[in-house]
Structure 1
């Protein structure tokens, strides 16, 4: 029996059960008030374009593709922890049984999850892209591997200069456990392979703050003492590259992650060296699949565990000038028309982007 058939059979069985019981309302434990058809999706911020442009639509599409009766309730916290807590509570009050949660602050979210699950025994939580203690499942990319790929790509870009290179590192928000894993992976790759990490700070996932930290690094080190920049994501890389350009520092390796449209265009233009592509064609649909399985009380088919939580860890891919066509274009994330503006048309042709 295919998974679609299993989900359909489970949905039909649940519907009959609800009808026999006179619907979803009733007395007793608040777990009985959860909706059999609602799945919540809570994303953390909108400064990183992938969340609204890729994660949300791919998640919603995947849920609807396997569960015709499912309703998706969506909110974005716009980097506000208090707002996300309110959104989380509203979903539960609205009868949502399964929530895919990408937290602004994973530590605080673990407290919400513990409290909510104690009061609502049927509540299920999918930790989306960021690990949350107490979640029922975790779906992400291998975040340490992401950092390692970033560090290795920076070393490759430096070539023979790597062993003497002076590196600036602008990391993600320290409240985000993923940021710590990216940083750990990057240090695994860079330590002992480059001259030194000359300056390191958090850009807090904010392009403006990242640009300010880059400006501080330039002031502290001097323009001629910076050979490459590690940026934990593409949004911050944009702010960093603008600051480097304003300071007259050009053509040094700068890399990020997320394969944002603007980052791919900078790679085509030659101002950004690489990004890490974490395919939403894998992440969002896998999280949606897990959410539907939890909703239907089907067994999870997790391939691993992280801190005792059934987990799916997906493989990231480096994207640079050599493989734009075979990654983000071939997978349909962007078209050549999306990326190749009039000013980039010649460079796109040189790279075989079509």
Structure 2
């Protein structure tokens, strides 16, 4: 199936989920009669290409949602490639070109504070997407990070109990330059504290699997694999590095490893029994919410008309926000979540070498 065909199929399935945000955005813009009557440019800035979701899901879904809400609007797109200086320049370039609103997933949530202030002074509102940015942002759209961490922690406790593993956990956190990393960690610790012992905790620069591999290798060398009962990995890239380190160390029975983002590789690792779980965040719903807020702000309207709550950053209080609910995915509910939502087909997950494992998991009949 071609990428274009896959995206078409995915969009047909998520359309029903995002209909509520479509209605919300039209109401904020004065109803169907006024929707799309003006045109302006929206800047979309994503942080890296390391995490598959940004290019595979978020960019095309946001662009499509923006086009549906404002047919005459255009999108200026840039990817920071994990370089905050690059993202600063991209923001300056977009403001110079005359974008009316920015959707920003920051490469560094603190370092872009001055750039966001400059955007505010230029009259360009900034909507923080997925990661909360410091500075005078006008809106925030994400999944509830505390709930992400709680789902990971709860799943890890269950998996460790099911395997009869000891109560020692290695925490493989995200990049500390992003606010989400601390958010996820707090959510996980709210579940794990008092139930297990955190014997090692690492930050993963750039959310890169090679850095997670190095950290996990250090943990194995210091502790020995037998003392590691489970690994709280903040996302699927980190989980990939953790699992590669465990396999390289010739650990025969892998401890339970968590993840996040429902990357295809991670789902296949779950089927194989190498990764215990991931956290699924329906990106179509998130894209719909951020597009609704960006179009409202671009039209000079109030982001609170789209927001469902407020959230505080270290620099800004009561930010109009949409915080969505994530879902835990294990081998037992892949079909009921990712397949039914059109994220992946059974054929995409169950490649030839995984057919026996998929048969055992009940994914192929």
TM-score calculated relative to the size of structure 2: 0.86
Q: Which residue of 2 aligns with 1:26?
A: none
Aligned equivalent of 1:58: 61
Is 1:321–2:326 an aligned residue pair?
Answer: no
Match of 1:288 in 2: 291
* Alpha-carbon distance in 2 for matches of 1:153, 1:47: 25
Preserved contact between residue 165 and residue 229 of structure 2 (Cα < 8 Å): no
Distance 2:220 2:108 in 1: 30
Q: Structure 1 residues 231, 284: CA separation in 2 closer, same or farther (over 3 Å shift)?
A: same
Aligned-residue CA RMSD (Å)? 1.8
Task: Name the count of aligned residue pairs.
Answer: 330
Q: Which residue of 2 aligns with 1:211?
A: 213
Partner of residue 89 from structure 1, selected from 92, 95, 99? 92
Give the Cα separation in 2 of the matches to 1:224 and 1:12: 61
- Correspondence 1:200 to 2:205: no
Structure 2 match to 1:181: 183
Q: What is the SS of the residue equivalent to 1:323?
A: helix
By relative contact order (CA 8 Å, sep 6+), the higher-ranking structure is 2
1:28-107 correspondence runs (5 A): 36-107=39-110
Per-residue deviation, residues 109-132 of structure 1 (Å, max 9, x unmatched): 2221112212x12x1111101112
In the alignment, structure 1 segments of 5+ residues that lack a partner are: 16-35
Deviations 1:163-211 (A, max 9, x none): 94111111000110000111111111111011x1111111220100000
CA drift of 1:348 comes to: 1.8
Q: Distance in 1 between matches of 2:165 and 2:270?
A: 24
Q: Retained in 2: the 8 A contact 1:155–1:162?
A: no
Q: 1:304 aligns with which of 296, 304, 309?
A: 309
8 Å contact kept, 1:171–1:200: yes
Deviation at 1:335, TM superposition (A): 1.1
Q: TM-score, normalised by structure 1?
A: 0.89
Q: Deviations over 1:125-146 (max 9, x none)?
A: 1110111231111000100111
Secondary structure, counterpart of 1:255 in structure 2: coil
The answer (yes or no) to whether the contact 2:169–2:200 under 8 Å persists in 1 is yes
Greater alpha carbon shift after TM alignment, 227-236 vs 157-166? 157-166
CA distance in 2, matches of 1:286, 1:130: 14
Unaligned runs of 5+ in 2: 1-21, 313-317
